[in-house]
Amino acid sequence: MISSRPRYLGGTIGSLAIIALWWISAVTVLSRTNSEGQTVTGAIPTPIEVIEQFGVDGFNFYFKNASITLTEAAIGFLIGNLGAIALAAVALALPKFENLATQIAVITYCIPIVAIGPIIRLVLGAPGEGEPAGAAISLAALSVFFTTMIGVLTGVKSTDQASLDVVTVYGGSSWHRLIKVQLLSALPSVFAALKIAAPASFLGAILGEYVGGPDIGFGPALVNAQQSLEVARVWGLALVSGAIAGLGYYLFGLLARKVTPWSASNGKAGH
């Protein structure tokens, strides 16, 4: 029997429960008493305080900072994914180099990007005023490289052998097998990797901004808010960052559902 409940019902109930728990915690166990004996919120503001801070900061504050961070994330996303696909293609075309290619991908995954950020910052230098930070772009690219490369390799190797045999029987070459069967078979895995890579690149860009030295972006905005003890603004920036990252995941899930409708794993993508 198929449930008639809307698909979004569970997510809505869960979100409301989290907001309620957040609100209750902010005014009870995580509250503090000021010098006048009044109970005030501490490190966790209430949802109302965050909403009020949104109104104080205004749309332009978030748009200005989000635009530069999104630019860095998009450039890093493009560079990292193109590099991962290129290396995966080399590994598939030259199987004897597959172990080396996989080891390179693992190294990019294991490198602590917070530690390597300052080194990249020293090598690339400080960005100009209002320009994307090279360190942020580099860390965004590193954040997506491993996921995409493994997704491509896994997808191509998961091709049904019977389909490959059919192409071979009808006189198809290795090129025909790759174009007509293997690449199509790999698309669901590639899109699954891209869904993860989208929010990862945004996170990598924010981490890169902590050491990259830009004046504008979510990274410097978070640092300034922390140093000024503007708790509600910190939470507002964190929530907007999470929403942007979630939107990237959603959009690639939606795209995957449109491009690969035959994949069962995409049946609920984007919902």
- Whether residues 143 and 259 fall in one domain: yes
Q: Which DSSP category does 179 fall into?
A: I
Whether residue 49 is contained in a domain is answered as: no
Strand partners, 40: 32
Tell me what pLDDT residue 200 has. 94
Distances (CA, A) of 233 to 54, 65, 185: 8, 13, 45
Residues 23 and 108 grouped into a single domain: no
Which of 14-18, 85-89, 121-125, 165-169 is the least confident region?
165-169
Q: Which pLDDT belongs to residue 41?
A: 58
Contact call for residues 87 and 149 (beta carbons, < 8 A): yes
In a domain? residue 51 = no
Residue 193's pLDDT is what? 92
How many residues does this entry show for the chain? Answer: 271
Q: Which comes out higher in pLDDT, residue 190 or 11?
A: 190
Q: How far apart are CA 197 and CA 201, in angstroms?
A: 6
Q: 158 pLDDT exceeds 60? A: yes
| Structure-block tokens of residue 89 | 């293609």
Q: Clarify whether residues 106 and 216 are in a common domain.
A: yes
Q: What is the DSSP string of 133-173?
A: PHHHHHHHHHHHHHHHHHHHHHHHHTS-HHHHHHHHHTT--
In a shared domain, residues 123 and 239: yes
What is the phi/psi pair of residue 131, to 5°?
A: -95, 150
Residue 180 DSSP one-character state: I
Among 40-44, 104-108, 115-119, 155-159, top mean pLDDT goes to 104-108
Q: Which pLDDT belongs to residue 174? A: 66
Q: How many angstroms separate the first and last alpha carbons of the chain? A: 21
For residue 122, what are its two tokens? 């020293």
> Could you tell me if 254 and 267 are in contact, meaning their C-beta atoms sit under 8 angstroms apart?
no
Distances (CA, A) of 33 to 7, 29, 38, 225, 227: 43, 11, 5, 22, 22
Is residue 73 a contact partner of residue 204, using CB atoms and an 8 Å limit? yes
Q: Categorize the per-residue pLDDT at 245 as very low, low, confident or very high, splitting at 50, 70 and 90.
A: very high
pLDDT for 13 beyond 60: yes
**What would the two tokens of residue 191 be?**
């899109």
Residue 237 lies in a domain: yes
| Number of domains present in the structure of the chain | 2
In a domain, 24, yes or no: yes
Question: In terms of residue numbers, what domain contains 6?
Answer: 1-44
Let me know whether 126 and 248 are in one domain: yes
Interval 202-236: pLDDT, tens = 999 998 888 766 788 898 899 888 888 888 899 99
- Region 39-51: mean pLDDT is 75
Contact call for residues 217 and 137 (beta carbons, < 8 A): no
Angle at 181 between CA 175 and CA 182, to 5 degrees: 80
Does residue 27 carry a pLDDT above 80? no
The answer to whether 180 touches 168, Cβ cutoff 8 Å, is no
- The answer as to whether 163 is a domain residue is yes
pTM score above 0.85: no
Average pLDDT along the chain: 82
How far is Cα 210 from Cα 96, in angstroms, rounded to an integer? 40
pLDDT digits 0-9 by tens, 168-189: 776 766 666 767 677 777 888 8
User: Of the segments 39-48, 65-74, 98-107, which one has the largest average pLDDT value?
Assistant: 65-74
pLDDT band, very low/low/confident/very high, at 62 (cuts 50, 70, 90): very high
